[in-house]
Amino acid sequence: MKTKLFKSLTISFATMMLLSGCGGQKSAEKTVESSSTKASTSDVTSGASEQKYTDPKEMKDEYDIIIVGAGGAGMSAALQAKEEGKNPVILEKMPVAGGNTLKASSGMNASETKFQKEAGITDSNDKFYEETLKGGHNTNDKELLRYYVDNSASAIDWLDSMGIKLNNLTITGGMSEKRTHRPEDGSAVGEYLVHGLLNNIHEKEIPIFVNADVTEILEKDSVVDGVKVTVEGKEKEVHGKAVVVTTGGYGANPEMLEKEKPELKGYVTTNQEGSTGDGIRMIEKLGGQTVDMDQIQIHPTVQQDKGILIGEAVRGEGAILVNQDGKRFTNEMGTRDNVSAAITALPDKSAYLIFDAGVKERVKAINFYEKQGFVKSADSIEALAKEIDMDGKTLDTTVQDWNKAVEAKSDTEFSRETGMDNALNKGPYYAIKIAPGIHYTMGGVKINDKTEVLNKDNKPITGLYAAGEVTGGLHGSNRIGGNSVGDIIVFGRQAGEQSAKFVK
């Protein structure tokens, strides 16, 4: 089957550019422009009219496996199920595919990978496990965590086999090794990953329907056997031998967020507006169990006007955080909860990321932030300080002290140990104003390591699987940056494989 590239898509809920892959379809599964991709009444898209998906008229009454949600977990599940010889379908309520995956920035965490070995990095699954457990304050579901770390390297290989190469390594807070895998050019992982997965979805002729809002999961004789879906204003039942739910979290649902954590009322969110917890509520109606619903992650570095996350790779490649006085105030590579708390404790409850041209060269996502107007720049540190209404001499002293710490490989002030490979000494210099924002919901439906959804008696709901942010337990009370992308690939694949085995 011949393939071709989609044109660029600008997505307002992600405010990112997505280069997406599209393939020609056989006549039975031809693709058309969705009627809602030009101008959604809910303002979820802008300029998305070039994206193409399977014609709603081609939706069948039955498939082997129904996958609800077209983010990274859903597309991974579909591709793995197809590899297993099954006939999956993807149903997505939004006008475009990608979900929160599209907004992922830093990378995908994995240990003992071929790319680490090529870079001379000695890592281990056990170390990855222990550091993630520590980052989650020892509250992680250990069964899920063990499965994740032990299968992370094979997930990197699986992506590579499909032309999705994550061989550029960096580090995130809470990790001691460079195990955050990025695209080769250092660009944001999300758009690249969605592009590659969509390419493969179309190449393998997997039908993917958008504006297809699943409202109910159906059961017959205590076995899940389909869904109710509204498409083009009409509700219909689509039946399948298994259902995989990959609808994401609830980070864009103010009511659910406030119910679980009232203190988060008014916080900006980085989530795309489709992250409203639909899958969790549908599964609860079937008797599914939820875990850690009050565990909601605040990301420390969020641009407040547009709710855009400034990726952890910026700090991982050497940026520092300073307060309005121009002084560092925390270990920038601490876990997200600790860094967020340090920023919130400042009088202005905000801070500045300070970095140089070297960081900008190594983190391509900064080009996007610059186009959005978030980045201040100047040829010298003192001139940069003037741009952000800060004392120039103080900021210059802070940067010079930091550079000495980098040279000595010892941060005596805040005990930072990672993201210290390069000094900040290459002009021009840059600043981005940030503050914490709602980023990720660690809670969700309870699954086992086979991605089977568990009821309140810890028994699998027959025929029902889930993967990605819709699930809870893996991350405990604090998610490590880069682990959510690993989560959606590792457990998305597992959901595809296990649902295919169930169908057999």
Helices (H), ranges, 37-124: 72-83, 114-118
**pLDDT of 46:** 29
Calculate the dihedral angle through the C-alpha atoms of 151, 152, 153, 158, rounding to the nearest 10 degrees: 90
Query: What pLDDT does residue 25 have?
Result: 29
Name residue 78's amino acid: A
**SS3 of 224, please?**
strand
The residues that are catalytic are 336
- Could you read off the pLDDT of 1-50 as tens digits, one per residue? 333 333 333 333 333 333 333 333 232 333 333 333 322 323 333 222 34
d(CA 309, CA 252) in angstroms, rounded, equals 14
Q: Is residue 21 within 8 Å of 202, Cβ to Cβ?
A: yes
| pLDDT of 266 | 85
Going by C-alpha positions, the residue among 209, 175, 12 that lies closest to residue 102 is: 12
Count the neighbouring beta carbons within 10 Å of the beta carbon of residue 345: 11
Domain boundaries, the chain: 56-295+442-503, 298-438
Q: Where are the beta strands (DSSP E) in 207-294?
A: 208-209, 212-220, 223-231, 234-245, 290-291
Share of the chain above pLDDT 70, in %: 90
Q: Quick one: CA torsion of 38, 40, 41, 45, rounded to 10 degrees? A: -110
Q: For 89-115, how does the pLDDT look when each residue is reduced to its tens digit (9 = 90+)?
A: 999 999 999 999 999 988 999 999 999
CB 214 within 8 A of CB 236: no
Residue 299 in 3-state DSSP?
Answer: strand
Per DSSP, 238 falls in state: E
* Residue for token pair 């977990």: 73
d(CA 181, CA 154): 13
Pick the CATH number of 298-438 from 3.40.50.800, 2.40.30.10, 3.90.700.10, 3.40.640.10: 3.90.700.10
How confident is the model at residue 504, as a pLDDT?
A: 87
Helix (H) / strand (E) containing 24: none
Task: State the CATH architecture for 56-295+442-503.
Answer: 3-Layer(bba) Sandwich (3.50)
The predicted structure's pLDDT at residue 214: 98
pLDDT of residue 187: 87
pLDDT given at position 349: 95
H-helix or E-strand spanning residue 303: strand 296-303
For the chain, how many residues are written?
504
Indicate whether this model's pTM tops 0.75: yes
pLDDT, averaged per 10 consecutive residues of the chain (504 residues), comes to: 34 35 31 32 30 91 98 98 98 96 93 98 98 97 98 98 97 94 92 95 97 98 97 97 98 95 92 95 98 95 93 95 98 94 96 98 94 97 98 98 98 96 97 96 98 98 98 96 97 98 95
Q: How far is CA 342 from the centre of its chain?
A: 24
